[in-house]
Amino acid sequence: MAESTADARDWTAACRILDPVCTYVRLFDGEETRLSLVLPATRHLESEMAALAGAMRSEEVVCTASTDVLESLEAVLRKRVHGPKDSSVRVLLLEDIHYLAAALDPRVFDSQASDVDEHGERAFRAMRTFFIRSPAVFNSDELQTMGDDERMERLRVQFSMYAALSGTFAHGAAAARKPGAPLDVAQVMNSDWDLWGWWSMYGGSAKALREIGKALAGMVPSSCSVERSISLQKPIHSMVRNRLTREKVAQLMFVHTNINLLGGGDLDVEHLDFLQSVVVDSGGDENCESGDGESDVGDETV
C-alpha cells in the first residue's frame, strides 16, 4: 500500500510538472501560430517551471521519481533556451530571429520591452544575418551604393522611430500598442490580430523595417502545418497516382480539406461531380480528357 501510494503521488507530481511543457508545445502546434510569441512563451515557461519547482518543494510533494523528472526538465529547458549548441541540442528554443520577431510585433514589444532591450543586439544581429542584403528590403540602388554597415545604420534609425512611436507609427499606437499591459500569449495566439496589416498601414516612415516586419508576420515557428500538409498529400499523391501534377495535387488538397470542413466526410463517389468540376474547370492537368472525348478525372482522382 505504501509503495502504491508513493507511485501515485509520483505520477501526480510528474503530471503537474509536465503540464506547463505540454501547454507550451500546444501553443505552436495549431494552424494559427506566430513567430513573435516564441520569446514571451518561452520566458513564461521558464518562470512557470521555476515557480512550480519552488512550490512543489515547499509543499513537500516532490518524491524520488518526480524529483528526477523535475531536475531533468529544468536542465533541458535551460540548455534549450540558453545554449550552448552541441550534438544533443542542435536548435535552441530562442534564436536571434525570435528576438527580432518579438521586437517587431507591437502587441509583444511593450510587454517584453525589458527582454528586447537587454538582448537588443540579438535582434539587430538577426537583421544583419537575414535581411541586410535582401532585395525585398532594399532596392537595387541601395544594395549597390550602400555598404552593409550603412544599411544597418538605416535600420537602427528606423527601429528607433518605431520604438518611439514617431512618424506614421504614432497613428498605430491606439490600434495595437498598450505599454505596460500584461501579455496573454494564448489570447494573442487565438485573436484576429493582423500583424502584416499593421505594418502595411503604419510602417510608411520606415520602409525597410516595414518589409522586415511583414516578412516576419508571415513566418511560423514550427513545421506542424507542413507536416499536416504532407500527411494530407499521402493518400492523394500515391505511388499508383504518381503522374499527378503539382497543380492537380494542390487542387485535390483544397477540395479534400474543404469537403471535410463542410461535410465532415472523406472524398467518396458522392463528391465526384464536384471534384470533376473543380479539377476540370481549373485546367490543371493536360490529361483531363481521354481520346474518346470523355473525362477520365474520376479514374485519376477517386
CB 172 within 8 A of CB 202: yes
pLDDT of residue 142: 93
State which amino acid sits at residue 224.
Answer: C
Residue 15, all three cell numbers: 503530471
pLDDT of residue 101: 92
Domain range spanning residue 248?
A: 224-301
pTM reported for the whole predicted model: 0.73
- Which is more confidently placed, 68 or 198? 198
- Looking at the chain, the whole-number percentage of residues with pLDDT higher than 70 is 70
**128 occurs within a structural domain:** yes
Highest mean pLDDT among 1-10, 36-45, 59-68, 220-229: 36-45
Q: Are residue 207 and residue 228 in the same domain, yes or no?
A: no
State which amino acid sits at residue 219.
Answer: M
- Which is more confidently placed, 243 or 2? 243
- Which is more confidently placed, 3 or 133? 133
- Which is more confidently placed, 119 or 284? 119
- Which is more confidently placed, 147 or 94? 147
Confidence band, pLDDT 50/70/90 cuts, at residue 120: confident
Q: Are residue 230 and residue 190 in the same domain, yes or no?
A: no
What tens digit of pLDDT does each residue of 86-95 get?
A: 766 666 778 8
Q: Are residue 228 and residue 135 in the same domain, yes or no?
A: no
Residue 17 clears pLDDT 80, i.e. is over it: no
pLDDT of residue 269: 54
Q: What is the overall mean pLDDT for the chain?
A: 76
- Which is more confidently placed, 9 or 28? 28
Handedness of CA 9, 12, 14, 16 (dihedral sign): negative
Distance between CA atoms of residues 176 and 155, nearest Å: 22
**91 occurs within a structural domain:** no
Domain boundary pick from 16, 49, 82:
82
Q: Which range, of 82-91, 172-181, 205-214, 246-255, averages the lowest pLDDT? A: 172-181
Q: Are residue 156 and residue 59 in the same domain, yes or no?
A: no
**87 occurs within a structural domain:** no
Q: Are residue 203 and residue 122 in the same domain, yes or no?
A: yes
**89 occurs within a structural domain:** no
Q: Are residue 37 and residue 150 in the same domain, yes or no?
A: no
pLDDT of residue 278: 58
Distance between CA atoms of residues 95 and 113, nearest Å: 17
Q: Are residue 17 and residue 103 in the same domain, yes or no?
A: no
Q: Are residue 10 and residue 70 in the same domain, yes or no?
A: yes
What tens digit of pLDDT does each residue of 263-295 get?
A: 555 545 555 566 556 555 555 444 444 334 343
Q: Which range, of 68-82, 150-164, 188-202, 276-290, averages the lowest pLDDT? A: 276-290
* Overall number of domains in the chain: 3
Q: Are residue 53 and residue 73 in the same domain, yes or no?
A: yes
Q: Are residue 265 and residue 180 in the same domain, yes or no?
A: no
**90 occurs within a structural domain:** no
pLDDT of residue 234: 82
Domain boundary pick from 51, 82, 113:
82
Confidence band, pLDDT 50/70/90 cuts, at residue 149: very high
- CA contacts within 13 A on the Cβ side of 218: 8
**178 occurs within a structural domain:** yes
Domain boundary pick from 47, 82, 117:
82
Q: Are residue 213 and residue 231 in the same domain, yes or no?
A: no
State which amino acid sits at residue 170.
Answer: A
**Mean pLDDT for the stretch of residues 15-24:** 81
* DSSP code per residue over the chain: -HHHHHHHHHHHHHHHHHHHHHHHHHHTSSSS--GGGHHHHHHHHHHHHHHHHHHHHHTT---HHHHHHHHHHHHHHHHHHH----SS-SS-SS-HHHHHHHHT-HHHHTTTHHHHHHTHHHHHHHHHHHTTT-TTTS-HHHHHHS-HHHHHHHHHHHHHHHHHT-GGGGGGHHHH--TTPPP-HHHHHHS---HHHHHHHH-TT-HHHHHHHHHHHT--SSSHHHHHHHHHHTTTS-STTTT--HHHHHHHHHHHHHHHHHH-----GGGHHHHHHHHHHHT--TTSB-TTS-B-HHHHH-
Q: Are residue 113 and residue 197 in the same domain, yes or no?
A: yes
**Mean pLDDT for the stretch of residues 110-117:** 57
